[in-house]
Amino acid sequence: MDRIRIRGGNTLSGTIPISGAKNAALPLMIASLLTDDTLTLENVPHLADVEQLIRILGNHGVDYTVSGKRLGQSGASGRTIHFTARTIIDTTAPYELVSKMRASFWVIGPLLARMHKARVSLPGGCAIGTRPVDLFIEGLQALGATIDIESGYIVAEAKGGLKGARYRFPKVSVGATHVMMMAASLAKGETLIENAAREPEVADLAACLNAMGARIEGAGTSTIRIQGVEALSGARHRVLPDRIETGTYAMAVAMTGGDVTLEGTRSDLLQSALDALRAAGAEVTDVANGIHVRRNGNGLQPVDVVTDPFPGFPTDLQAQFMALMTRSSGVSNITETIFENRFMHVQELVRLGARISLSGQVARVEGVPRLAGAPVMATDLRASVSLVIAGLAAEGETIVNRVYHLDRGFERLEEKLGNCGAEVERLSS
């Protein structure tokens, strides 16, 4: 199993190209199931989760081709992939595949909308919490689907097709909002989704669906209105920049000090996280091609954060921000409100010398003057990258085990950090 070795202490300076967003690419790829035409996605990141979803979609009959490099493109450009679901050959998503990646459960929306039936394995729990699927079930039932649970599978059917309806989510869910938008795009009549997730990835999926001929208004706000259409066509769509990768590298720069341009990204995608970074003492400015992050000299101030659905502070940056706060000059409280078990990084940060105590959903982080390298590992991708951030500032050598978690969500991490002066190396075994 590969490991990452970090020798801490270097500041970061230079440019880091930001990849296409994993959490936008995955639902966009799933949307290819909605049409027999070709959906072309540009700026698709090269990640283990993307490769895994390609295999899962292949099981339903989706063909794909990857375009070669074009004139003027650097190695940093994301790939262009063409997805074609000419014929859906299988409406079952088996346990062996869904259990490997939770987002693959989302195929239930397009399969039900296009084929009027789907049999999808329940995803089960995962490292960051129980993550139930009740909101998907309720939402699809509102669109007229009958849903049974049989031997660990959700068996959904909509004889004669889905019908538009008004549905209010009792709790904000990114995945359930994606699924409802995809399903309602091919339902008969109008659907009104209230208390929808407002994440930029939801708006990105809606933009792609609209390019495919869907009629969706309001995505990116909490009320989404969808007029169902008979069929969707192919389209070409560019995946939006990864706000979590952006925030992660911004936090790495704030941690080590230095001066880095995050290229090809946008500050409006992560305003609340950038505000927290500014409060901690980093300078964050918009530049023509991205965001510039700098921290020189001054130490880090403690900052309290509470995770919340967009536009709040993202749960996917909570671990990274906690790593940063381990070096602040005081006490910060970090509250996790989205997932009940997303603090696995705490004990590993403590191994590096951090002082953190947990009480329910609040982590109290008391800043320390130094961290010291150690072997660490984590069981979730954002937790793993928080250990990389801590390792960049720790004295001596940090070995991050189980690198496959990082490969799920961070493209060429060691190269991107290495090009800015970090000593980060992958050890293959």
Nearest CA to 37 out of 80, 83, 81 is that of 83
Q: What is the bridge-based pairing of β-strands 117-121 and 331-335?
A: unpaired
> Which residue, 374 or 383, has its beta carbon nearer to ligand EPZ?
383
Helices (H), 376-412: 381-393, 404-409
> Which residue, 132 or 330, has its beta carbon nearer to ligand EPZ?
132
For 85-145, where are the E strands, in sequence order?
A: 92-93, 117-121
Report the alpha-carbon distance of residue 26 to residue 18 in Å, rounded. 17
> Which residue, 28 or 394, has its beta carbon nearer to ligand EPZ?
28
Report the alpha-carbon distance of residue 218 to residue 129 in Å, rounded. 30
126 is catalytic: yes
Q: Which residues contact 181 (CB under 8 A, 6 or more apart)?
A: 109, 193, 202, 205, 206, 209, 216, 219, 224, 226
Asked if residue 292 binds ligand EPZ (CB under 6 A), the reply is: no
Catalytic residue among 126, 155, 211, 350: 126
Helices (H), 143-238: 174-185, 200-211
For 151-272, where are the E strands, in sequence order?
A: 153-157, 166-168, 190-194, 215-217, 223-227, 235-238, 258-263
Asked if residue 316 binds ligand EPZ (CB under 6 A), the reply is: yes
Q: Which of 176, 216, 317, 393 binds ligand EPZ (CB under 6 A)?
A: 176
Report the alpha-carbon distance of residue 328 to residue 254 in Å, rounded. 11
Stretch (H or E) spanning 402: none
Asked if residue 382 binds ligand EPZ (CB under 6 A), the reply is: yes
Distance of CA 252 to the CA centre of its chain: 18
Asked if residue 185 binds ligand EPZ (CB under 6 A), the reply is: no
Minimal distance in Å, beta carbon 33 to ligand EPZ? 16
> Which residue, 4 or 133, has its beta carbon nearer to ligand EPZ?
133
Asked if residue 132 binds ligand EPZ (CB under 6 A), the reply is: yes
Asked if residue 125 binds ligand EPZ (CB under 6 A), the reply is: no
> Which residue, 4 or 300, has its beta carbon nearer to ligand EPZ?
4
Strands in 283-287's sheet, in edge-to-edge order, are 12-17, 258-263, 290-295, 283-287
Q: Which of residues 46-85 bind ligand EPZ (CB under 6 A)?
A: none
The 10 Å Cβ neighbour count of residue 324 is: 27
Report the alpha-carbon distance of residue 297 to residue 257 in Å, rounded. 8
Asked if residue 108 binds ligand EPZ (CB under 6 A), the reply is: no
Minimal distance in Å, beta carbon 176 to ligand EPZ? 5
Beta bridge partners of 82: 40, 65
Minimal distance in Å, beta carbon 160 to ligand EPZ? 25
Q: Which residues contact 124 (CB under 8 A, 6 or more apart)?
A: 99
Q: Which of 41, 78, 136, 276 binds ligand EPZ (CB under 6 A)?
A: 136
The answer to whether 18 and 261 are in contact (CB under 8 A) is no
Residue window 402-421: x/- pattern of binding to ligand EPZ, with contact defined by CB under 6 A: -------x------------
Per CB under 6 A, which region of 130-138, 363-371, 395-403, 419-427 contacts ligand EPZ? 130-138
Per CB under 6 A, which region of 127-135, 287-295, 325-333, 410-418 contacts ligand EPZ? 127-135
> Which residue, 123 or 373, has its beta carbon nearer to ligand EPZ?
123
Asked if residue 103 binds ligand EPZ (CB under 6 A), the reply is: yes
Minimal distance in Å, beta carbon 338 to ligand EPZ? 5
Q: Which residues bind to ligand EPZ, rule: CB under 6 A?
A: 23, 26, 102-103, 129, 131-136, 171, 173-176, 197, 315-316, 338-339, 381-382, 409
Catalytic machinery residues: 126
